[in-house]
Structure 1
Amino acid sequence: MKRTHCFHASGLLLYLASVQVEARSIHECIIVPQAAIVTDMPAGLDEFEQRLWVADTGQRVRKGTDTLLLLRLFSESPGVIDSQQYIKITGSLKRYAPSSEGTPEVVDARLTSGGAGFVHKGDNWLSDSVDVELHQPHERDNRMEVKVTAVGWNSYRKEDRSFYLQFTCQLKEIPVEKLSAWQGGNDDLWGSFGPTR
């Protein structure tokens, strides 16, 4: 009987060791019409909330008159502590019309990046000078090739970091009132650094 238990236990361990852990990765490209970037920190935030606000600088959105592009990237490795990494980029789109030909220009883009578990310490990179290039490989297709170049500064670590991103994603249009905290909407600062499951 003991041998059977040992066999089952060792078989279970062998099975668990052979299961591959897949990382979760999300790339969102969102167009937000009639919007503006929120720049003023609300009053009454405690010290931790102020750090969260600063970490999300330039990524929160409210109703306005511009058309915004929100790029949201998130990755994590299941079972690995503090593996959640985010990159958020928000900029204004010039010459954008849903059915028009030609590629819009992204201006005044800002970036924030870091580990989701460390933003309350102020351990993240910020850049207010981000170069975003868009290329639409096929007309009448919402897929967009995106290239991002930036240098971010981390005031907690007192160091900078270069960012070069290249990816393809599907453009989707979402009104301001439908944006999640992760995407840039509502006032849930704690929910700003990763998508809900």
Structure 2
Amino acid sequence: MKKIVVATKNEGKVKEILAAFQKLPVELLTLKDFGDLPEAVEDADTFLGNAQLKARFYAEKTGCACLADDSGLEVEVLGGAPGVRSARYSGRHDDAANNEKLVAELQKKGAVESAAAFRCVLVLCDADGKELVSEGSCVGHVRQSPCGAGGFGYDPYFYLASGKTLAELTLQEKQAVSHRGAALRLMAAQLKERFA
């Protein structure tokens, strides 16, 4: 069975990836399975660039195929911010602080809500250097008022056309509509073909 390392320390992302790949002929490992690994530097200007940096870095460190995700929120009224800086929008990797900054920036613009989209790029770097890439997006609106206790990151502030936030959905419901869910389905199809 093919071993694939999920290159993230974000437990929410790990859960979503494990759920998406449970029927594939692969064994998923996380960075925790490899002890104290250094942090990959994510200094690219695109989601694809950051996902490639992480996938290549951890494939080299672990000697296994490695799946990395880079994703973020692009808010129209904020000119596409926070974008590739979504995870550290506030200056640190802290969901509450990032959401606080998002609301503050919307308030500065006098925007109660704004059109927005979540974007996700997945890169699998195999031990032979071959790379697989998939992308997904989810369109909606961000609002200053959160709703829901599920999900992670900006999920409570991201409203779908249904009026619900991503944080109000079950994991299965979220996977069906989210940016990461779309990218994971495309990646799963490629993995099935490659490792079947």
Q: TM-score, normalised by structure 2?
A: 0.30
Name the structure with the higher strand share. 1
Name the structure with the higher helix share. 2
Q: TM-score, normalised by structure 1?
A: 0.29
